[in-house]
Chain A
Amino acid sequence: MAQGSRRAEGSKEGTGGPHFKANMAARYGFDRVFTVVVTVAALLGIAVLAVLLVDVVRDGSGMLSPGFLTSFPSQIFPENGGIYPALVGSLWLLGLTFLISVPLGLGAAVYLEEYAEDTRINRMIEINISNLAGVPSVIYGLLGLGIFVQLLAPVTGGASVLSGALTLSLLILPVIIVATREALRAIPRAIREGGYALGATRWEVIRSHLLPMALPGALTGIILALSRAIGEAAPILVVGVALYQTYATAGPLDGYMALPTQIYDWISRPQQVFQDSAAAGIVVIMVVLLVANSAAIVLRNRYQRRS
């Protein structure tokens, strides 16, 4: 059908010269309009982000002070409350998630890229990893609830910061694996063969050459993955993050609060002062994430220029 109409257009252009010219003006006009539309569309997302940031800073600036970072949240004097336990809890989550997910992610990536042959099971692992990347984060929360909080309670201490970190680690593993594999794939074959020619074993080549060379690329993925973990609220809500506790987390088996869930708790209260506290908390988490994201981008640009 489309082809038929195109042919009709063609014959019209062929027969009438003046008609063709008028058509050209319309076409170029439409072309200019389209250029504007495309440009506006591309900048629209950034514009929303800018409005969002301005709005949040405006709402939260009244609450932001050094004391906001070092005080406990307060029900009685909410205007003096802060995010101290949530900040500590998020740092614990970050540290433990890093320790758990990075070795596992690097290991899986090295296996898939350097060891795995093209067998059915390895192909299945690959499809599986790309599927896991698309599983909603709240489902990981249910997994963590069933396995880490309930089944492994004697080891993890139930709804502890360790359970939260294990859950987040599973969530971000696919991201780390994909980024590390891409970095490994970019390393020329000659490096590996040079190593083997000198009598090095496969693992020796990986440890001394491939991992150090893949590190900048892998690190970009790791930073992006960890900044995602830090911002996630849904899975840790399901595995039992505390919305209020009177102490700051001091060990892996302690209970914990976290920044995004603290923000969520504040948002769901009607009083204006809590809304403002939420906005101030958002400013803090956005600053952390923007710094992390910029670091990842700088790292990637430098790495891309080198290779």
Chain B
Amino acid sequence: MEGSRLAVEARGARSREGDWRRNSRAREVRERVVKVLLTACAYLSIFTTVGIVIVLFEETVRFFLDVSVWEFLTSTRWVPSRGEFGVLPLVYGTLMATFIAIAVALPIGLLTAIYLSEYAPNSLRRWLKPALEILAGVPTVVYGYFALTFITPFFKDSLFPGMDTFNALAPGLIMGVMIIPTVASVSEDAIYAVPRSLREGAYALGATRRETATKIVIPAALSGIVAAVILGVSRAIGETMIVTIAMGAQANWLGSPLEGMQAMTAYIVQVVGGETPRGSVAFKSIFAVGSALFLMTLALNLISYWFVRRFREIY
């Protein structure tokens, strides 16, 4: 239908020479305007990045007029109400939750990827993949609620009676569940890209299915799997609501996973939602913490991007 309209337009243009020329100039102008508009849409992404960098760094520089960079990076005391701004306890909280999350998501995500690509019958695969995507689409406040009202009480009643109401273990575990789909889908892509001939070579040599999967396919897909894990780490570091709800609001340097602690992302949300006056040092500190967070995830994303590209080049 659309095609025939095009044809009619073209025919009409050919029969009326004068119209065609005038029309053609109008069309040329329209083409140019459209191209400019579309280019602007694409360049918006650059402006977004530039905007993030400017906003973060402007306020961060102001923060560093009040607090020394050295104190921020090396002090292990984070008590904004007393003017103590050492970021390490927040980084520790973030990394503790991330470590627990990856300890869950790496083995389960990888095994899921192996199952999906090497074991699952096609019919099961067709509904398992979308179901996993739903896991990634659950709002993080929901996971936070689950960690606080289900997982923590469960641990308190069974394994760890002395556990704090706010702790790193429960949100870490749940964050791991949230990241499973990320690790699984990126590593499945990598596993999928391993040529069939490698598998068949292994089978021909008498390898069992498990041996083929763990000794041939996984090593061949390793760089993609590393990329998946790095991406998972980056997700976990940036995750906000689970740790805000279930890990607590008290910075805790070198605490155990059973104690409450504060993550970098949680600090930002808790300060913005609290009574901290705009323009105070504590308010500016959220931008400094944000900058640190941005640089950490940026580095991880770039490394992961590099790994994916490298693995693509092999096959």
Residues of chain A having any CB pair with chain B under 8 Å: 27-28, 30-31, 34-35, 37-39, 41-42, 44-46, 48-49, 51-52, 55-56, 59, 103-108, 110-112, 115-116, 122, 124-125, 127-132, 134-143, 145-147, 170, 173-174, 177, 194-195, 198-204, 208-209, 212, 224, 227-228, 230-234, 237-238, 240, 243, 260-261, 263-264, 267-268, 275, 278-279, 282, 285-286, 289-290, 293, 297
Contact = CB atoms under 8 A, between A and B. Distances in A.
B254 interface: no
Given A134-B297, A134-B301, A200-B10, A238 B272 contact: yes
**Interface residues of B toward A: which range?**
35 or more
Given A199-B10, A268-B245, A297-B130, A125 B273 contact: no
Given A128-B46, A138-B265, 12 more contacts: A41-B107, A55-B149, A124-B46, A132-B48, A134-B235, A135-B52, A135-B297, A136-B265, A142-B55, A142-B290, A173-B44, A231-B139
A143 B132 contact: no
Interface stretch (B31-39, B82-90, B95-103): B31-39
A201 B6 CA distance: 10
Interface stretch (B68-76, B115-123, B155-163): B115-123
Contact of A209 (B3, B139, B144, B211): B3
A193 B249 CA distance: 60
Contact of B145 (A231, A261, A263): A263
B45 A174 contact: yes
Contact of B305 (A127, A132, A141, A243): A127
B145 A293 contact: no
B269 A138 contact: yes
Contacts of A27: 208, 210-211
A177 B235 CA distance: 20
A267 B119 contact: no
Contacts of A290: 134
Interface string B121-153: 000000010111111011111111110111000
B284 to A, nearest CB: 11
Contacts of A293: 130, 133-134, 137
A209 to B, nearest CB: 6
Interface of B is mostly: helix
A108 B41 contact: yes
B150 A139 contact: no
B307 interface: no
Contacts of A103: 41
15 contacts: A34-B210, A39-B119, A44-B180, A56-B145, A124-B46, A136-B265, A142-B286, A173-B45, A200-B9, A200-B10, A208-B3, A234-B241, A263-B145, A289-B139, A293-B137
Given A35-B119, A46-B135, A136 B240 contact: yes
Contacts of B116: 42
A127 B298 CA distance: 12
Contacts of A289: 137-139
Contact of A137 (B112, B208, B211, B240): B240
Nearest to B134: A293
A42 B55 contact: no
Contacts of A278: 145
Contacts of B272: 141, 145, 237-238, 240
Contacts of A282: 141-142, 145
Interface in B230-249: 231, 234-235, 237-241, 244-245
Nearest to B146: A52
Contacts of B43: 125
Of B48, B54, B115, chain A has the most CB atoms within 10 Å of the CB of: B48
B268 interface: yes
B45 A129 contact: yes
A46 B38 contact: no
Given A139-B52, A142-B268, A264-B245, A204 B6 contact: yes
Nearest to B173: A48
